[in-house]
A and B are shown apart, each in its own frame.
Chain A
């Protein structure tokens, strides 16, 4: 497979800008460190040449940003999408969140993105520089010298269980398209289901009580696009972090996950951004797993215009009291 570099993408962008196909470019902007890449809109060629990056830390799903970016754009916006981003892109189109005509999509192949936390765990504090190699990264550190790490050991959870390397939306592709992949993404959910309610409660209590209610998981989610959110309501009593008791932030998490049930493409952004390392994808995947089991396989974002399972029904659907007892012997 052709290795995608920032130069290839910059050349592509510069070409599309100069031919007038697009007026601006949405991609990833370099940050202070090699790993803090930010999604950004580029309107200027020099800026693009200097600050556009593409590499192991471009996990950020840029689809959601198109809602805002397309609002005031007069010309088309070029956007580079990884396979998983295209699912969110389609889901947003299904929900009429922006105008497809305003975007020019270039699909880029993906070999998986790195999780900086895993790198920090292995390399320790004081990371000076991270450079990509053929099959991993080389990390220069202040205290531990130079460390080389294998790609498979530093992948984001979602990339380890990548569901598809196929682009479901694009105007143009760079390189060859991949295929939908076999994956083990429901294994962890199944392991939790096999526990006793007591164990499950303790597991989630431990995870969710760490939540600081920064709302990053909500803000990054491409399926959460309401302009006003119930969790910002100061009258609700739950807009801030709970200081005590057992329910903690569970209500927030149940509703957050429920709100995207059937629309969540499992892009894994919630877990990626959580500063408290809470495995939020395990909530979303529970809904996906149940939906697949109760109502038939469904992948949100696979097709524009498909009807989400929660706004659909059949006369023979499973009864809730049975759904919840399905595990009982």
Chain B
């Protein structure tokens, strides 16, 4: 029996129009990805306020990944372009504060890319397992 095996908590914000469907496709193709990944469906990757990411970390997430439509394919034409700018600045800021930069990620996954969805999640989970528990961004006030 394995004792104290680290089970990471991973939050994946997935756009309703692409990666959420991509996750579905991965499921119906029987491609497996870790159960540690908890998907939160958003109407567009652009809906993800930087606060959502920090809140996830505060409440104990070990990694946060945002998945949206490929640039140019946004259901609302340009939402993901804004996401891209925001996340570039946010990730860079977290790195500047000395927080492990591999804990956050942005990937473009379309509805047809079930396989990409599964590999992305597998890779990301492995990365988080190697980083271990998130200590630098948790906030005991916010953990129930």
Contact = CB atoms under 8 A, between A and B. Distances in A.
Contacts of A323: 88-89, 91-92
A238 B137 CA distance: 14
B100 interface: yes
A192 B91 CA distance: 16
B90 interface: yes
Q: For chain B, what secondary structure do more than half of its interface residues adopt (helix, strand, loop), or is it mixed?
A: helix
Contacts, number: 130
A246 B138 CA distance: 7
Interface stretch (B11-19, B23-31, B76-84, B110-118): B76-84
A276 interface: no
Q: For chain A, what secondary structure do more than half of its interface residues adopt (helix, strand, loop), or is it mixed?
A: helix
Interface in B37-53: 50-51
Contact of B141 (A242, A261, A294): A242
Contact of B58 (A203, A247, A311, A324): A247
A203 B96 CA distance: 10
B101 to A, nearest CB: 5
A83 to B, nearest CB: 27
A192 B93 CA distance: 12
Contacts of B138: 245-247
A286 B50 contact: no
A258 B97 contact: no
B85 A258 contact: no
A109 interface: no
A249 B137 CA distance: 10
B19 to A, nearest CB: 15
Contact of B98 (A199, A251, A326): A199
B72 interface: yes
B7 interface: no
B129 interface: no
Contacts of A325: 101
Contacts of B135: 246
A250 B89 contact: no
Q: Which residue of A197, A199, A230, A325 has the most chain B CB atoms within 10 A of its CB atom?
A: A197
Interface string B92-111: 11111111110001100000
A247 B137 contact: yes
A193 B51 CA distance: 23
B93 to A, nearest CB: 6
A237 B54 contact: no
Contacts of A254: 50, 54, 90, 93-94, 97
Given A247-B58, A247-B139, A250-B97, A324 B78 contact: no
Interface of A: 192-193, 197-205, 230, 237-238, 242, 244-247, 250-251, 254-255, 257-258, 261, 283, 286-287, 290-291, 294-295, 309-315, 317-321, 323-327
Given A244-B140, A250-B137, A317-B81, 11 more contacts: A199-B98, A202-B98, A237-B141, A245-B140, A247-B137, A251-B55, A258-B90, A290-B92, A310-B82, A310-B85, A317-B88
11 contacts: A201-B99, A251-B54, A251-B139, A258-B90, A258-B93, A310-B82, A310-B86, A313-B84, A317-B85, A320-B90, A324-B95
